[in-house]
């Protein structure tokens, strides 16, 4: 098993990609600086049109930056065409050859590189074992399932031993159950091979599940780079907090600041602790973020952090979302786990208290 090192595999230095000019000018990427470590499972996450696939295409060599540099292990790869870069891509569509067998598809790239037949067979056998497809080697790809085709596409991309593997939303065509299985499979393969994976997705849960680090993108720029925990529990700004899972935003006022902790005053006058981003000292009116699972419904009392009336109850299987209209008018969602006896019992219109755990509120930077 391999883990990410501190050595840089990919360095993106001031990369912009601009299409067109004048009134038709479109900035797909705007001055990106990013370092991706060796052996890292790194995810580019963001909504459609944010620039994540454009960045992947620049690394692959299918497109070229308007400005900036892309370094692979310290070497500028801009002059190299795609087939000369030690980088391979797994596409959403798989791009397999329907007239070839599983083994022939996996060995195709090696054959194009002029490798000896014996070496190709040995490497194909190794890849088939890696993706648990040995028994399928002589099947036509049209005779295997979507999940199996995904494994073949992965094996084919890994066969030439690239230093970096790019994956452009490779799981989006799979159903939910199969997608979850392939998430585990991709993470296992990446750990066993020790190759740097750069994974593109718009699926927040997928990114949180699989990644060593995540770069959240929007409108051609990086909004935050960090571990899944950083991105989810310590979002740097409102866009990140809102894009990654469900959350609650409350407008509050800073009462005091001590070290790296603040006390913020709610509309009710009650004060609660809150953390804040590094290198900032909050003051005045600010917005705090609280995740639904970091609060619980309690009986109305002076000890409750917030008070309101239940507006709706949404059963989610393992959990229930209780949407509470606060006294100040804001809607606040609490997520509670369901017991074996079934969904939690709450009535619409019922007045309840909300208890917020200590140190879960975070002040968002402007």
**Each residue of 248-306: pLDDT tens digit?**
999 999 999 988 889 999 988 889 999 987 777 888 999 999 999 999 999 999 889 99
Query: Which of 63-72, 166-175, 216-225, 305-314 has the weakest average pLDDT?
Result: 166-175
Residue 213 belongs to some domain of the structure: yes
Task: Report whether pLDDT(125) > 80.
Answer: yes
- DSSP for 105-157, written as a single string: HHHHHHHHTT--HHHHHHHHHHHHHHTT-GGGTTSBGGGS-HHHHHHHHHHHH
The residue among 188, 215, 238 that closes a domain is 238
Residue 3 belongs to some domain of the structure: no
Element (H, E) at 352: strand 351-356
Same domain, 228 and 283: no
As a whole number, mean pLDDT of residues 116-133 equals 95
pLDDT score recorded for residue 345: 78
Task: Report whether pLDDT(186) > 60.
Answer: yes
Whole domain around residue 66: which residue ranges? 8-238
Same domain, 265 and 156: no
Same domain, 18 and 71: yes
Same domain, 268 and 204: no
Same domain, 231 and 295: no
Same domain, 229 and 288: no
As a whole number, mean pLDDT of residues 348-352 equals 94
pLDDT score recorded for residue 343: 55
Q: What is the CATH number of the domain that holds 16?
A: 3.40.50.300
DSSP type of residue 342:
B
As a whole number, mean pLDDT of residues 122-128 equals 96
> Of the candidates 235, 277, 276, 271, which has an alpha carbon nearest to the alpha carbon of residue 253?
271
pLDDT score recorded for residue 189: 94
Q: Is the dihedral of CA 119, 124, 125, 127 positive or negative?
A: positive
Question: Against a cut of 0.95, is the pTM above it?
Answer: no
pLDDT score recorded for residue 342: 57
As a whole number, mean pLDDT of residues 204-218 equals 96
pLDDT score recorded for residue 278: 72
Cα gap 108→164, rounded to integer Å? 19
Same domain, 157 and 38: yes
Same domain, 37 and 14: yes
pLDDT tens-digit readout, 34-86: 999 999 999 999 999 999 999 999 999 999 999 999 999 999 998 899 988 99
The residue among 182, 207, 238 that closes a domain is 238
Same domain, 207 and 283: no
The residue among 185, 204, 238 that closes a domain is 238
Residue 2 belongs to some domain of the structure: no
């Amino acid at each position: 098993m391999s883990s990410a090192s501190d050595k840089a595999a990919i360095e993106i230095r001031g990369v912009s990609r601009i299409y067109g000019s004048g009134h038709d000018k479109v900035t797909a990427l705007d001055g990106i600086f990013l370092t991706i470590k060796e052996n890292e499972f790194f995810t580019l996450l963001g909504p459609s049109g944010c620039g994540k696939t454009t960045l992947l295409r620049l690394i692959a060599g299918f497109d070229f930056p308007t400005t900036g540099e892309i370094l692979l292990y310290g070497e500028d790869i801009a002059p190299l065409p795609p087939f000369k870069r030690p980088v391979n891509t797994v596409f959403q569509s798989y791009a397999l050859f329907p007239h070839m067998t599983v083994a022939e598809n996996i060995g195709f790239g090696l054959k194009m590189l002029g490798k000896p037949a014996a070496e190709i067979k040995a490497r194909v056998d190794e890849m088939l074992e890696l993706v648990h497809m040995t028994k399928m080697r002589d099947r036509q790809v049209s005779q295997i399932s979507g999940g199996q085709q995904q494994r073949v596409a992965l094996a084919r991309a890994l066969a030439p031993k690239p230093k970096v593997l790019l994956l452009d939303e490779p799981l989006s065509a799979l159903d939910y159950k199969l997608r979850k299985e392939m998430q585990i499979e991709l993470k296992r393969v990446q750990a066993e091979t020790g190759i740097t994976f750069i994974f593109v997705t718009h699926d927040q849960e997928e990114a949180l599940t699989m990644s060593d680090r995540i770069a959240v993108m929007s409108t051609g720029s990086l909004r935050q780079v960090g571990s899944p925990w950083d991105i989810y529990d310590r979002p740097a700004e409102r866009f990140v907090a809102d894009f990654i899972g469900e959350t609650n935003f409350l407008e509050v006022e800073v009462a005091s600041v001590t070290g790296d902790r603040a006390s913020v005053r709610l509309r009710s006058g009650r004060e609660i602790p809150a953390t804040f981003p590094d290198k900032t000292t909050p003051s005045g009116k600010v917005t705090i973020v609280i995740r639904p699972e970091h609060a619980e419904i309690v009986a109305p009392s002076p000890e409750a952090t917030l008070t309101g009336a239940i507006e709706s109850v949404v059963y989610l299987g393992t959990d229930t979302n209780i949407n509470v209209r606060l006294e100040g008018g804001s809607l606040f969602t609490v997520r509670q786990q369901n017991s074996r006896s079934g969904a939690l019992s709450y009535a619409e219109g019922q007045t309840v208290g909300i208890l917020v755990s200590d140190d879960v509120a975070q002040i968002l930077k402007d």
